[in-house]
Chains A and B, each alone.
Chain A
């Protein structure tokens, strides 16, 4: 097939090619390899989306702070000592630029830039300037406070920032994804915490491959054979398999919702949890039913959700719950940062099971994630081989989406295409790349 004959619109054609009549949904592989598209993604997507910063539980006490790269920029999140409010600041001194928050996390009364010793309080106010008489009283302290990120909002503890001051409010942005965050948060009665210990790894592949992979039910059986063998060795009954559906949640967000063989600390018992945890889990489940009714309680307790919040946040509520964000550093490379989130006052034995489940499946040293990494890098290497221009994402287009279909990925790609605008077209009249 030549390039031109495969082009719906002659010399310029969309990189996301959808034709429901033909059951066709395909994505041009240039979206994964082009430096020009990568540059446009930073400009059009990452500078105009709500991006996850961290969870409020990470800065529980006044003066608590964590540093975070957000959309490729180093920021820090701090709880103000006077206001108790969470702030997200650019990590740069307003005087000459040096980093003011120099530890990865901790508690501070002031952030002092070591270069000229300007200091800022935890609300961001400029508090100290050595030898200030030299400015003759002309130093505008208010204007020289730490610079907050253009927009910052929290949804029930999940803190997001945006570099676009005109972006819609966070709740509107989250659209249908809100309900899925609520299911996680309400299952812990609103009291959640990020567990200590962070997975900070990288993948030599385009970032959108991880967006796809995080909500891909089709690959589980073939890619994760050794993980399922591990579960069987521990006594898990794999019969019943994975059954469920996928949903487009609006604004590029999407979810897989399904029943799976593994247990859930909230609140689906399996032999691995031990007989003595049975009553505890039954109690948790009964509590959910009493509070939320049987139907919603069953979703919380029995079903799993792989949730993608566009563009780069994943909250997978499976055998444990991960909060995972990823940021491209090049068309073929991304940094991944993942945390475990859990109910704050969890029974030690259930917490242990949750930790085990996380590190064996979701962790970069576990029985599954290294193989996902291999798959994504393998795709990227395959693109370099050339010869094939399109990825096929049409699975399940002519039926009610099942958990191993690709409707959820199509939701992501449609929003990507919309946000990229004219950059999501291939112009064949341009010099060949």
Chain B
């Protein structure tokens, strides 16, 4: 198995290029497919963490007022990873085989300054999930807000918006998108 070892240097978010962001997102996808979730967790910025997946009928859903599928802050994201690493997450024990595919990466203009600066990035995703002879898929768009932490790109916010009109083709969402 090959691993993607280093994140690109990102001393200044304004100078980050699309290939650097793509390398970062590909690395993230590889870690998820390798079920190396502890290393994946280290890709997140230390504060302001938000991992959100809205409901399929409410793609603009606000977790403060609407029901969403996932609304993880730093603590809940860590507990989600602990759950998936355990042998008691029955839906994911044994783990699915997944293929996280990322494309159509578009960088927005940097917002904010200093430590609060964030780089908005959107990308399309297709995530295949195979388990127990069954193949399912998740298709949609990622909305990232990336930060630079000690010269490295980090995820501060990741919002995975499903394009599917219902979750039914996939059944549930026990994996990470």
Give A contacts to B, CB under 8 Å.
104-105, 195-204, 223, 225-226, 229-230, 233-234, 335, 339-340, 348, 351-352, 355-356, 358-360, 363-365, 367, 369-371, 373-375, 381
Contact = CB atoms under 8 A, between A and B. Distances in A.
B171 A230 contact: no
Nearest to B93: A374
Contacts of B91: 370-371, 373-374
A51 B56 CA distance: 24
B173 A233 contact: no
A198 B171 contact: no
29 contacts: A104-B57, A105-B57, A195-B65, A195-B66, A196-B65, A197-B55, A197-B57, A198-B56, A199-B55, A200-B57, A200-B166, A201-B168, A204-B134, A226-B86, A230-B79, A335-B168, A339-B67, A355-B65, A363-B70, A364-B172, A364-B173, A365-B69, A370-B92, A373-B91, A373-B172, A374-B90, A374-B91, A375-B90, A381-B132
Contacts of B70: 359, 363, 365
Given A233-B75, A233-B79, A196 B67 contact: yes
B116 to A, nearest CB: 24
A358 B67 contact: yes
Given A233-B79, A375-B90, A364 B57 contact: no
Contacts of B173: 364-365, 370
B55 A370 contact: no
Contacts of A105: 57
Contacts of A223: 90
A337 B113 CA distance: 44
Nearest to B171: A202
Nearest to B164: A200
A227 to B, nearest CB: 8
B89 A371 contact: yes
B56 A200 contact: yes
B67 A359 contact: yes
Given A365-B69, A371-B91, 5 more contacts: A195-B66, A197-B66, A197-B67, A359-B67, A359-B69
A356 B66 CA distance: 10
B14 interface: no
A225 B169 CA distance: 27
A63 to B, nearest CB: 19
A196 B174 CA distance: 22
B1 interface: no
Given A233-B75, A365-B173, A195 B67 contact: yes
Contacts of B68: 197, 355, 359
Interface of B: 53-58, 61, 63-71, 75-76, 79-80, 82-83, 86, 88-92, 132, 134, 165-174
The 9 A-B residue pairs with the shortest CB-CB distance in the complex, in nearest-first order? A197-B67, A365-B173, A370-B91, A370-B174, A197-B55, A365-B69, A200-B166, A374-B91, A202-B168
B174 A200 contact: no
A340 B57 CA distance: 14
Given A196-B67, A233-B75, A201 B172 contact: yes
Contacts of A375: 90
B167 A364 contact: yes
A359 B76 CA distance: 12
Contacts of A335: 168
Nearest to B170: A201
A369 B167 CA distance: 14
Contact of B171 (A201, A355, A356): A201
B54 A365 contact: no
A76 B152 CA distance: 52
A371 B83 CA distance: 11
A232 to B, nearest CB: 10
B167 A200 contact: yes
Contacts of A356: 71
B171 A203 contact: yes
Given A201-B167, A226-B83, A359-B71, A365 B61 contact: no
A364 B168 CA distance: 10
A202 B136 CA distance: 12
Contact of B69 (A195, A199, A203, A367): A199
Nearest to A358: B67
A229 B56 CA distance: 28
Contacts of A360: 76
Contacts of B54: 197
B75 A199 contact: no
A196 B66 contact: yes
Q: Which of B63, B132, B167, B169 has the most CB of A within 10 A?
A: B167
Given A196-B65, A197-B55, A360-B76, A367 B171 contact: no
A365 B67 CA distance: 12
B56 A196 contact: no
B57 A365 contact: no
B57 to A, nearest CB: 5
A373 B69 contact: no
